Structure formats: structure tokens, C-alpha cells
Structure 1
Amino acid sequence: MLVVLLIASMFCQGLTVVSYGDNFITAFPENLGFFYPLSPWNYLKVTALYDNTTFTVFYKNTQKNLQIQQSGQTMDVLFTDYFGVNKLGSSILSIRVTSDKNITVVSESRRASSIQTNVVQPTVNLGTDYMIPLLDYPGYLESFDLPRLVSTTMKYNSFKLLIINAVDSQNTITVVKQTSTDVQEETFDIDSYQLVQLQTNGSVLRVRSSKEVAVIFTHPCVETADCNCNMVINQILPTKFQGRSFIVPSFFNVAETQLLVLSENSSSLFHNGSQLEATYSELLPFSNLETSQLVNASDRVSLRLVSPGLIVELIPDTMFFACYLLQFYSQNGRAVVIAETDSKDDVRTHKGLLSASEWTAIAGTKYSSTEVTIADRSATIWHPTSKIAVYMLEYMSAKVVFGGPAIPINEKPDLHGCVLVPGAFAVGPDPLNWTKSLEFCVNNGNQFACPVSKAVLEDMADNLTTEDGTGWIGLRRSLLTTEWYWQGEYEPSVSYVHWDDGQPLDFSKGLCASMSLDPKKDFKWRSARCCEKKKPVCYKRPACLNPSQTWFLKYIP
């Protein structure tokens, strides 16, 4: 049965769910931190993916225009007025961000030791159908044997839902609730860009809407094991983003952990050779997280990792990405990285190879995982040839953790980094010798095409127009060692070749490499004398995200 599930998951098409865009809507849930009387600080972290990005923040029937000049820079937008949604019912306290170029947005709420961050999803990722966790607060405390510190009033004795209308028109909302005897539906309307907050104390099953909404699951003050108060927040993804195969990441220093399963129907989970039956919304024991572990489901589900003060949505394997942006509250955040075992040592950051002292193989999978410290507040983690999963975490103490999945930027691996604008291949108009061909490419803002892997060669073949004859590529022999090397690549050594039959010729008969431009000849390579004239095959490097460590603070009254 497990083999069948694994095969089925291989053919399950993943959705491209990049977390950048030009339109966002969110709200700041109430951050109680009732031990601390001071008002919380609410931020939006806005990161520009392109130079000279202008964005607008809409709030309380007001708007503020702001600009970030450099790609990769982040602006902290601090709301000096209190914006926490602390009342049930409708409200105008939604916050909308629009931009002339793609940006990412992270919300952050601080109140003494109660800190939470949340990756705000662009409106293109929102939907009209959401499954809601059936968590009731007293049951949550009982499951972790925590003290009932805030159970004196109903207001703080239940989780809450924020439903935010993401469109500029009236939106009809249907809330499906489980009562003691049956299932009931409640329908109401929300005006443009407004929100409503509901108590959910383990009763709300589903939220449906006529148009797109954002749904946030939250509690203003969840007790943690060391008697602290920490808000929890989880922006729920629409049902279209569910999956069947998950790697539950290892979160060290989290002693008590459970899996929260959301399933359309009863679903069987397979873990460590055992089968677990899960109903619609159920907490399952999952206490041993010293290593990352595989969980498969018989049907599409969403999984959350739940521990005191922490709810983390898990990334299904069909939604692994090639590169991620990480935004931390402070320096020395932590990242959990899941990568294919055979290529785990190729995982990179914006500063070079990932410095991971120890990787642990994940049983039953082709993956390994590691946890590393990231010294910068903003970072990228990416892989040049395969997809990975990345989670960002921060520790306020040994038992207080917050964070979640990192911000996915690009699904397609690329040798050059975290790609924003893909690279482009082009064939020069005139035949030139190898040296002149190199000059032609460089003078036109390009480099020689270097098909250093099968994936790059296939990408080149898909993007080149059909040509006759052959063209020069950036592969040649060293005059000193006679070894082949790549011209201008970060890794000049040659590990992949696509030579034609009988190729390459003897050293004396060719120092440079050409490529057939005819698809019928499979773009095979041949060695040739460098003085021969062939058309240059050029490559314009992609534009990659390079996160800046220069942050700007803007106050919004």
C-alpha cells in the first residue's frame, strides 16, 4: 500500500505557489501577552524584488505611498497606532498592500516575549474554500498538560478566525459549523476589503466564499511549557494546496509535538510502517522529532505541526521549491533544510555553500535534513539542480519557538541563484572564431552558453530557434593540462558531457567545443579548431535575488 501511495504522489501535479506578488491583504490579530500591559508593535516587512519599487499601504480608509530603491532591500513598516483585531464581528482593520513590481510581505507582532511572524500570501494564492482546524482551547491545553492560565473568560478560551474580504466588492461568506447534534451553515456578507472575526472553539469546519478571502487562524495568548504567553497565528491555505506526502521537519528543543490533520474525508496516514486513522480534523501524537520523518496519506490532506505556542503548516513534497527567501526577527535565526541526499552538499545561501555540520537521512525517502544558524536577518537558501524545502525558526527560549515555512521564490532550479528573471539563450547572427564569439557575447551583455548539466542543455534546446550548422559554446581545453573546462562558470570543472559519437577528437585536432544547432542531431557536441568560424551561442544570466542587510524603518501613524 505504501509503495502505491508513493507512486501516486509522484504523478500528483504540484501547484506553483510563489509567495511574492503585487497585491496583498492581511490583518494583525490581537496579541494579548496579558502579563505585559504595553501595546504590541505591529510591523509589515516589505522586500522589493526589483529596483525602484513603489508600493502603497491602505489602512483605515487611509493610504501611504512608499518606495524601496534597491532589489533585495527590506522596509519595516511600523504601525504606531494600535491595529490588533481585538473584537468579534466586522471591522475595517484590514491592511492592504499593492505594488508596481513584485514584493514579499511578512507580518510581525511583538509584545515582550510574545512574538509571532507570518508570511502574508499574495491575493493570487487566496481561494474560496478553506478547511478549518477543529481545535478547542481547553483541549489544546489538556493535550500538552499545560496550566489553564487564561481560561477565566470565553474571550480568551477559544481560537479565533479572521476572514478578510480580498476583493473590491461585497463578498458572501458561508461558515459551516459542527454542533452537538448536526452540521449548520451561517451565511453573511462582508463589504470591500473588510473583515470579520469569529470564535471557533472547535466548532467551525469550513469557510466558503463567493469571491477570494484570506483566512487567519489565531489565538491571542497560548500558554507555553515555561509559563509564558505567546500568540499563535496560521494563515490557512485554500484546499487546492493540500498534498499526500509530507516530510515532518525536525524542530529541535520542542519536546512535545503533535500533528494536526485536516482531511476532506477520513484519511489513513502511514508513518514508520504504521497506519494511523485520522478523522476530519484530529491531533495525533508525534513526540519524537529528533529527526525529520516521512508521513504519507491515502487522500489529499493538510498537516500542521503543533506544539505549545507554535502552529506550523507543513510543505507537501509537490510544493518543494528551488529557492527561498528567509526573513528573521533578529540575527542568528535557524533554518531547517530538506534536500535530496545525493546533492545535499550543493545547497547554497546568498553567501555561498550552506554551512551544515551534520545531515540526517530521512528514512524511506531520497531526502536528508539539517538545521543551521543563519547569521543574517535576511537570507536566501537555494539549490542549483533540485527542489528543496526550507523552514525558518526563531527561539525566544529553549521551549518558545515561532516561525514557519520560508518564502518560496522560484520552483525551477538554476545554477546562478534564486532567480527572479530567467536566463535567455540566443545565437549570434554571423559566424566568428571562438575568441571573437566570446567577445561578441560579452559585448552584448551575455556570456558563452555553458550547458553544464542535462537540465541546462534541455532548457537551451527548448529556447533556441532552429538553426542549421554548429555554434560555439563555452567549453574548451586547457593549454597546460589538456583538460576540458567551462568558460566563465562558477564551477569550471566538467561533470556532464554530451559528445557526438567519436568525440572529442585528439587534443591536436581541436581545443574548443561546438554544438549542433539542429534538433534532429540532438544538439550533440564536437571538438573543433578554435580558429574555425561558427555562430556564437550566448547566454544572458538570470536576474537573481540578493537580499540586502540594509533595512529601513518607516512609521505609519
Structure 2
Amino acid sequence: MLVFLLIASMFGQGLTVLSYGNNFITAFPENLGFFHPAYHLTSLNVMALYNNTTFKVFYSGIEKEIIIPNSGQTVNVNIAPSAEVNLFSSSDKSVRITSDKNITVYSVSKREASTQINVVQPTVNLGKNYMIPQLDYLNYLDSFNLNKPGSTAMRYSSFKLLIINAVASTNTITVVKKTASDDQEDEFKIDSYKLFQFQTNSSVVRVESDKEVAVILTHPCVEVEDCGCNMVINQILPTEFQDKNFIVPSIFNVAMTRLLLTSEQSTSLIRKGSTLATSSALLPFPDLLTSELVTASERVSLRLVSPGLIVELIPLSMFSACYLLQFSDNNGQAVVIAETDSKGDVRTHTGLPLASVWTAITGTNYSSTVVTIPNRTATIWHPTSKIAVYMLQNMSMTVLFGGPAMPISEKPDLHGCALVPGAYSVGADPLSWKQSREYCMNNGKQFACPVSKTVLKDMADNLTKNDGHGWIGLRRSLLTTDWYWQEEYDTPTDVTYVHWDDKQPLNPLKGLCTSVSLDHKNDFKWHSARCCDQKKPVCYKRPEYFNPLPFWIPQSFP
């Protein structure tokens, strides 16, 4: 049954939560880490996905324009620590980033070892309806047997919610609070691009708005085991991104781990055949030595929680093909979850396979691994299926920061992290195989080469309705009569997958080239044919690929 659920999820429509865009809004929650040490940093890391990208940063009425010359290059923008939001009130301390081309953005807040990186969601991922995790700070400390805060001031004794108006007009916000007798609704307005911060200790269950907002759950200084403290931050995703099937990653064998469930209704969670919960709560999750499957009866969001760390979990329906990882230093670590049958195909930005030891995840067709990433910036991708990637980094013996890596490409590609997917087309006029190849190349394309079942399905899904047959890039060698793929930009590929029709292929004397049925009813079956026969060329335009660069450009604001 579990395997069936995973397969159904894998082939479902899924949701797109790509982390790039050209419009972002965020804020810097207060970080009191280690009680006001001297070193303090607030910054934005902005990476360009395309050459010659111009982006602008807006903060406190000031605008700064910055140009990134190369794709994959990161600009580190230092912003004054006064940008931190520490008051329970309305504020104009939001930070906006706009760009003429797609970029990724994450914010960094650092006080000595208290570091948090927040992947800033583009405004296309923001919404109007958010479920809020019911997390009480004092119960949180009790759950991990940590010391109570020495101060009873509000800034220490509760979690905070920070709501940012993402639009250029006044936004009406409704906060739904759970009381002993009923639910209470508080309504207020936030002016364009401003924010409002208030306390929450499990009383707030929902935030609704007329227009898009960003919602951040935070605490300035969560106690950790060594009597220090570490800021926590979690940008909450709208309710449309909730789902039922999750693989809980093993986060480096953290001794104290809890699972935080958030749901609109009473929900059962199934782990290893046992029911974990029927309502929102901090759930004990001991012995998380390997990644595990958790299935919910209703749509939920799940977070993995340990002292000073809240990690949003990626539902199976939101797995992607390529992730961007950015660390504050070298030798960060990543948890990778991939299909067991193709786990050896996971690659990094170097194009080389991910060298690692994998552990099968019970009850699923997935395996997981933990790997060290030597570079500050990298991609991890899979050529034929979707994966999940989490990144974490140790700042001390007890302080971690991190969360899901940035999904860059939802669609798998054989050759890398595809920013712009490949495109298939069929020429209008029948030509010979040789003429068809020239036609494709003269139009900035190459022969279509469906080298696997996944690639063939992608080709079939993207071709408009046609009749007859078209040429593809599979042919026989004149010397050996062995089949090979005629890929224009790579060494000819060995043939490991075929999709021949009945009684095909014919003997070499009757056909050295290959055509594909263009009729969907014929399942795109292949036929061998004489290379001089007249058929329409089936062409493929390669994707535009993304590769991060190792060096960063420092900037200051303003």
C-alpha cells in the first residue's frame, strides 16, 4: 500500500515551487544569538540565472541597482543590522528585490555561531491563506529539556509572526486565534510593502489576507544545549502547498528531534504502520537514524524541529529534478533522497555522479544519503527522475542551520540543471534522413534522440498531433551495423533503450535509419527504414543549462 501511495504521488500532477523569480520581498527578524556579541551580519545573497542580470534592492525608501555579469554568479549584499525587526508593531523594514531576469535570493542573519539562512520565496509562491504551526516556546523548551529563559520579556518568552504585505496597495489581514471557548478573528490593515509583527504561542492558527503576503515564524534566541542560543526562522508556505506523503530526512543523527504537524483538520500520521497523532503537536520522533516515510490522512505541512532549528519538509509531490545549494562556508552537508533504482545517477554541478553510500527507505522505492559538499555553492540534480535535497551546516557542536535546498528545475534532463526546458518540433516537409538532420541543425536544433522511456514520453507529450512517420537520430553503423544515437553535441550514445514496433527492426539491407510513428494511437513505435525515404524531421532544441560559479561579488547597501 505504501509503495502504491509513493508511485501515485510520483506520477501525480504535483505543485511547482521553484525558488527563482524576478520579484521578492522579505525582512530580517531579530537575532539575539549569544546575547548581543560584537559580530553581527545581515545580508542577501542574490544569484543570477542568466548573463547580464540587473536587480534592484529597495529598503527604507532607498533603492540600489546592481548588475551581475555572469550566469551562476552570486552577489552578497550587506545590509545594516538596523534592518532587523524587533518591535511588535507595524514597520517599513521590509526588503524588496526586483530583477529584469530570474534570480534566486536567500537572506543571512549571523551573530557569532547563531546563524540562519532563509530561502526567500519569490512572490509567485506567496498566497492569501496560511496555516500557522501551533508552537509554544515554553513547551518547546520542556520538550527538549532545555533551560527556561532568564528574562520574562516578550521578546524572549514567545515565538513571533512577521507578516509582510507583498503588494503595492493596502492589504487587509485576518488573524484567526484559538481561544478556550471559540475561534477569534482579529482584522487589521498593512500598507503597501510594509509589515506587522506580533507574538504567537500556539494561539494563532491561521492568517488570511485579501492579497498576497509573506509569513515568517521566528524567535530571536532559542536556547540550545550548551547554554547558548540560536535564532530560528521558518518562512511558511501557503496552504495550497500542503500534501499527504513525506519522507522525513535523517538530519545527521540529531539526538533531539521532533516532528511538527500543521493541518486544517484532525489528521492521522502513519509511521512504520503506527499512528502518530490526530492533531497539531510536537511529536516525538526518536531514532531517526535513517530517512523514513510518513503518510497523513489529510493534507498537512510537516516540519522537523530540534533546538534552534526548524526544517520544512518537502512533500513527494513537490520533489524536483535540480536543486541549488548555497552555504556560508565550504564543506556543508546535504541529505539527498532519490529513487532506489536510479540513485547512482544523481549528479553534482560538476556533472560527476554523487559518490555516496545509500540507505533504502523502508516501505518505499526511495533511498537516502548524506554527502559533504566541498564548495560553498553547488547544484545536485538527476537526469531522469525527481529528488529531494536538504542542506545543513554545523556552526558549533550544537548549533545547526539550514533547510530545503532551492528547487531550480522541476523537469529532469539528461545533461544537467535545465533552466529552459528542451523543445520538440516536427518539420513541415518530408525529407531524407540526411536532409532531416541538416534541417534540424540549420534551425538551431538537433535530431530528437529518445534515449530512454522518460525521454520518449517527454517527446510524445510535447509533440502536436501529426500523421505518418518522422525521422529520429537513431541509425546503424555502416561498418558494424550496430545501432547508435546521432547526438550532435556528445559522443554517439550506446543504445540501452528501444521502442520497436512488432516485427521491427528490419534486417540491415532494408533499413539503416529509424523513424517514429507520429500518431499517438500507435504509441510512437519505431520502424527501421531506408535512409533515403522521405519522412518529416523530428527536431529537438536543447535546454539552457545552469551552473553556479564559485566566486561571489561583495556589495553594501545602500
TM-score (norm 1): 0.94
1:414-462 deviations in Å (ceiling 9; x for gaps): 2232221121223345555444443443343222110112332233234
Percent identity at matched positions? 68
2:508 maps to: 507
Secondary structure of residue in 2 paired with 1:337: strand
Secondary structure of residue in 2 paired with 1:278: coil
Point out where structure 2 has 5 or more consecutive residues left out of the alignment.
Answer: none
1:164 maps to: 164
2:547 maps to: 546
Contact 2:423 2:543 in 1 (8 A): yes
Contact 2:377 2:548 in 1 (8 A): yes
1:410 maps to: 409
Separation of aligned partners in 2, 1:235 and 1:359: 30
Q: Any residues of structure 2 matched to 1:158-557 within 5 Å, and which?
A: 158-279=158-279, 281-428=280-427, 431-467=430-466, 469-488=468-487, 489=490, 492-557=493-558
1:213-233 deviations in Å (ceiling 9; x for gaps): 111000111122233321110
TM-fit CA distance, 1:52: 1.9
TM-aligned CA distance change 1:206 to 1:495, over 3 Å: same
Point out where structure 1 has 5 or more consecutive residues left out of the alignment.
Answer: none
TM-aligned CA distance change 1:123 to 1:479, over 3 Å: same
TM-fit CA distance, 1:206: 1.7
Separation of aligned partners in 2, 1:418 and 1:182: 49
Q: What one-letter code is carried by the residue in structure 2 that aligns with 1:362?
A: I
TM-aligned CA distance change 1:241 to 1:464, over 3 Å: closer
TM-aligned CA distance change 1:178 to 1:430, over 3 Å: closer
Q: What one-letter code is carried by the residue in structure 1 that aligns with 2:308?
A: G
Contact 2:40 2:81 in 1 (8 A): no
Separation of aligned partners in 2, 1:80 and 1:409: 29
TM-aligned CA distance change 1:385 to 1:2, over 3 Å: closer
TM-fit CA distance, 1:3: 8.4
Separation of aligned partners in 2, 1:371 and 1:7: 24
1:359-397 deviations in Å (ceiling 9; x for gaps): 111111111111111122222212122111111111113
Separation of aligned partners in 2, 1:491 and 1:175: 60
TM-aligned CA distance change 1:464 to 1:207, over 3 Å: closer
Contact 2:253 2:288 in 1 (8 A): no
Separation of aligned partners in 1, 2:390 and 2:292: 15
- Of stretches 41-50 and 347-356 in structure 1, the one that deviates more from structure 2 is 347-356
Separation of aligned partners in 1, 2:475 and 2:159: 64
TM-fit CA distance, 1:5: 6.8
1:311-331 deviations in Å (ceiling 9; x for gaps): 001111111112211121112
Q: What one-letter code is carried by the residue in structure 1 that aligns with 2:119?
A: V
Contact 2:155 2:220 in 1 (8 A): no
TM-aligned CA distance change 1:206 to 1:533, over 3 Å: closer
TM-aligned CA distance change 1:550 to 1:31, over 3 Å: same
Separation of aligned partners in 2, 1:4 and 1:466: 32
Root-mean-square deviation (CA), in Å?
2.3
Q: Any residues of structure 2 matched to 1:62-77 within 5 Å, and which?
A: 62-77=62-77
1:184-221 deviations in Å (ceiling 9; x for gaps): 22211111110011111332222111211111000111
2:136 maps to: 136
Contact 1:170 1:191 in 2 (8 A): yes
TM-score (norm 2): 0.94
1:28 maps to: 28
- Count of aligned pairs: 556
Q: Any residues of structure 2 matched to 1:74-113 within 5 Å, and which?
A: 74-80=74-80, 82-113=82-113
Q: What one-letter code is carried by the residue in structure 1 that aligns with 2:368?
A: S
- Of stretches 28-37 and 511-520 in structure 1, the one that deviates more from structure 2 is 511-520
Separation of aligned partners in 2, 1:398 and 1:509: 70
TM-aligned CA distance change 1:7 to 1:275, over 3 Å: farther
TM-aligned CA distance change 1:432 to 1:441, over 3 Å: same
Is 1:46 matched up with 2:41? no
Contact 1:234 1:312 in 2 (8 A): yes
TM-aligned CA distance change 1:490 to 1:327, over 3 Å: farther
